Amino acid sequence: MASKFLLVAQREYLTRVRKRAFIMLTLLVPVLIAVFGVFVGKIIQSDETTEIINVRDDSGLGIAGRLVSTPQLQFQPVAGGTLASAKTDFQRQKHAGLLYLPAGLDEKDPQGVQFFGKGNISLSKENRVQSALTDAFAELKMQKSGLTQAQLDQLRAKVPLNSISVDESGAEKDSNSGVTTSVASGLAVLIYFFIFLYGVQIMRGVGEEKSSRIMEVMLSSVKPFDLMMGKIVGVAAVGLTQFLLWGILSYGATAVVLPMVMDRDQPAKTSVAATTSATPGGPAAQPSLADNAAASADQMNPAKRANAVGGVFGKIKELNIPIGTIIFGFIVYFLGGYLLYGALFGAVGAAVDDQTDTQQFMFPITMPLILSYIIGFAVIVRNPDGPVAFWMSMIPFTSPIAMVIRLPFGVPAWQLALSIFLLILGFIGTVWVAARIYRVGILMYGKKVTYKELGKWMFYKG
């Protein structure tokens, strides 16, 4: 039995890894991800423009002069004319909006302030304008209470916060919520994407072999359960191979692309610093040709590039992120989640004749996966230790995504062990259900399958 099971898994593995599409996808994806990341970053930077907001202040409170501009919004006071002419001017000037503060405005209860924009105003723009107004009125109230400008500046001073994570042993490390959240989000996307990707491969492979009647030949020498498990394990091995290669190639692509981006920005910073620095009593120092040549040589130095990448990963290592637990958990939950859902996908592929009929059975199977993905970003990332995060990381159908989101934030060992144990039990249960459906459906042709029919297949004897 074991030899036949391994033969099926070997056949699935070798058939898929030898395909040209697998080789091309494995080689190109890391490079495309690195290039895509740089491309998106450049687009985001190029889209960071400053919009001008005209401010007509008829309140007599001097609010227009108290509005603080930001890199996104610049407030420009306008005077003279009427409100109608101010509207015409902001449209003619193609500015982002017009803020109107009417006469008789009470600073204690400022009602009647209006913001005119072109088309439907975005939520972020409306929030920024409202925040600037709130700060301006707060400053006015505090100044009228007798506070000086120096005291107002002290009141507005932000308190620097150093986040420090303390583990169960009492060890302290720097914490960065942004990095932790990014790692958690990336893991969730990978698990979600690849469970779908490889699960659908099983379903389509079974469906194609069933429609071509190859199954009838294979089942003459291999039991249905061995055939199903061989396919699931073989595709799982393909996924692990692809993950390993992507990890190695992604690190290599990062080692090349990341220093190029960093080096491209570095000369500009050096040039500005050189031109703006001046010696006492003398003109600003200008960079020499020798300095520029040395800088260019440093950029081309492979050791400098390696140090740049090492510095980035070194910063990550300094944070209290359990790298070992994350890698272990990712492999366990990728395999466990894939095996759990892969068995169900295989059962669906065996049950139906037409690929269009798979949609009605795929939705209830994938609903827990989709739900955990949505709730993971909406709830678990914000509160990884809350009751929703705990229970979803225990349920086998949702734990592959819910738990990998929690891992970067730190999970008690007993919760991780219990979740893995329940995932194994869930996998055993789904394999039993899938095997009962698979053994009947794989040789069933020309019959429209319903949920009631699937229920009967599960309890057929033999």
Query: Domain of 71: which CATH number?
Result: 3.40.190.10
pLDDT tens-place string over residues 342-398: 888 888 887 777 666 677 778 888 888 889 889 988 888 888 888 999 999 999 999
Position 317 in a domain: yes
The secondary structure of 46-114, three-state, reads HCCCCEEEEEEECCCCCCCCCCCCCCCEEEEEECCCCHHHHHHHHHHCCCCEEEEECCCCCCCCCCCCE
* DSSP-derived secondary structure letter, 98: E
| Domain of residue 327, residue span | 174-266+299-457
Strand pairing category for 114-117 and 97-101: antiparallel
Question: 156, 183, 216: which is the final residue of a domain?
Answer: 156
* Same structural domain, 150 and 89: yes
Handedness of CA 100, 106, 109, 111 (dihedral sign): negative
Q: How many residues does the chain have?
A: 462
* Same structural domain, 309 and 433: yes
* Same structural domain, 208 and 357: yes
- Tally of structural domains, the chain: 2
Position 67 in a domain: yes
CA distance 106 to 10: 79
Largest CA distance in the chain: 98
* DSSP-derived secondary structure letter, 320: S
pLDDT tens-place string over residues 289-320: 444 444 444 444 544 444 444 444 455 555 55
Position 401 in a domain: yes
Report pTM.
Answer: 0.64
Q: Dihedrals φ, ψ of 144, to 5°?
A: -70, -20
pLDDT tens-place string over residues 213-269: 676 677 777 777 777 888 888 888 888 888 788 877 777 666 665 555 544 444 444
Question: 87, 121, 156: which is the final residue of a domain?
Answer: 156
**What confidence tier does 174 reach under pLDDT thresholds 50, 70, 90?**
low
* Same structural domain, 99 and 142: yes
Contact criterion met (CB below 8 Å) for 146 and 132: no
Contact criterion met (CB below 8 Å) for 259 and 308: yes
* Same structural domain, 146 and 188: no
* Same structural domain, 186 and 111: no
CA distance 435 to 26: 32
Contact criterion met (CB below 8 Å) for 114 and 83: no
Strand partners for 173: 165
The DSSP code sequence of 443-462 is: T--S----HHHHHHHTT---
* Same structural domain, 370 and 316: yes
- Residue entry with tokens 């060890």: 171
Contact criterion met (CB below 8 Å) for 80 and 36: no
CA distance 207 to 215: 10
What's the CA angle centered on 405, arms 402 and 411, to 5 degrees?
A: 90
Q: How deeply is 11 buried, as exposed, middle or buried, from its count of CB atoms within 10 A (0-12, 13-18, 19+)?
A: middle
Position 218 in a domain: yes
* Same structural domain, 83 and 220: no
* Same structural domain, 148 and 194: no
Position 162 in a domain: no
Handedness of CA 261, 264, 267, 268 (dihedral sign): negative
pLDDT tens-place string over residues 398-449: 999 999 988 888 888 899 999 999 999 998 888 888 888 877 777 776 667 7
Position 462 in a domain: no
Question: 94, 123, 156: which is the final residue of a domain?
Answer: 156
Higher pLDDT, residue 273 or 188: 188
* Same structural domain, 181 and 305: yes
Q: In the prediction, which pLDDT does 286 show?
A: 43
Under DSSP, is residue 176 helix (H, G, I), strand (E, B) or coil? coil
Q: In the prediction, which pLDDT does 170 show?
A: 57
Name the residue among 381, 412, 403, 236 with its Cα closest to residue 333.
403
* Same structural domain, 252 and 344: yes
Position 43 in a domain: no
Q: In the prediction, which pLDDT does 74 show?
A: 84
Alpha carbon distances (Å) from 459 to 55, 101, 344, 447: 74, 74, 17, 19
* Same structural domain, 254 and 216: yes
Position 275 in a domain: no
Q: In the prediction, which pLDDT does 149 show?
A: 67
